Amino acid sequence: MDLPPVGLGTMGIEDEAVVKTALDCGYRHLDTAQIYDNEGVVGAGIAVADTDRANLTVATKLWTDALGASAVRPETEDSLDRLGLDAVDLLYVHRPRGDYDPDTTLPAVEAVREAGLTEYVGLSNFDPDQLAVARDHLDAIAAHQAEFHPLYWRESLLADAQERGYPLVAYSPLAGGRVFEEQTIVDIAEAHEATPAAVSIAWVTSYDNVVTIPKASSQAHLEANLAAADLQLSDAEIQRIEAIEYEEELFPE
């Protein structure tokens, strides 16, 4: 998939006006999920915005209780009803847990794609071994979404995306706000007269095959996150961030 460097993560967004504002600011990739309980909000925001649907990538995710072979299609249709769309551009398996069985879940998701309810199939929160198994059942992995930020990232997932040529969609690029307290990030931000948020987004998007979906609600933060991808970090600065010694996974299993 050809995804923009910065999209909008919508977890926690409960106001359709935020979605409309994001689209007005230039966002063209919206990411939601069944478990966020806001597909209707995202759909309402799309409906009231002036953005041409053909220029927009809408992604949602099937939760772990929607992954049984007989549940995948009706659950997908329910998501589409809430979004007010005939199809999504990208449908993820949210986590390989619960009712997930690669032998039955993934063929059912492929059938949904073949029926035209989604253009692409993605995976989320898989490890490299699980990605390898999934490849045996899918026509292609169009994208893989994973936690990726300066305080937690998995080189093995980055390598898989780069070697296979699909986008790694990085969620929580600001580490839940923790990057504002990380001195390395703060120092680099001061050198660029930028914010730690901008440096974190610039670092994430500096890697080939990596895009990101930070959440924001105000117009100022929405615009700042979009602009952050244009911030150029030096190789030395990227390496300083890579060398941060501790990991802090926000969403462990």
Sheet harboring 144-147: ordered strands across?
8-9, 29-31, 57-62, 88-93, 118-124, 144-147, 168-171, 210-212
> How far apart are alpha carbons 124 and 105 in whole angstroms?
14
How far from 132 is each of 90, 140, 160, 185, CA to CA, in Å?
Answer: 20, 11, 10, 34
- 36 as an active site residue: the answer is yes
How far from 171 is each of 206, 218, 222, CA to CA, in Å?
Answer: 15, 19, 15
- 3-state helix/strand/coil string of 206-222: CCCCEEECCCCCCHHHH
184 token code pair: 């390395």
Contacts with 82 (C-beta within 8 Å, 6 or more apart), sequence order: 39, 40, 43
- Residue 6, SS3? strand
> How far apart are alpha carbons 43 and 52 in whole angstroms?
14
- Partners of residue 57 on adjacent β-strands: 29
Contacts with 46 (C-beta within 8 Å, 6 or more apart), sequence order: 19, 23, 30, 53, 56, 58, 83, 84, 85
Catalytic residue, candidates 36, 120, 166, 171: 36
Cα Rg of the chain (Å, integer): 18
Residues noted as catalytic: 36
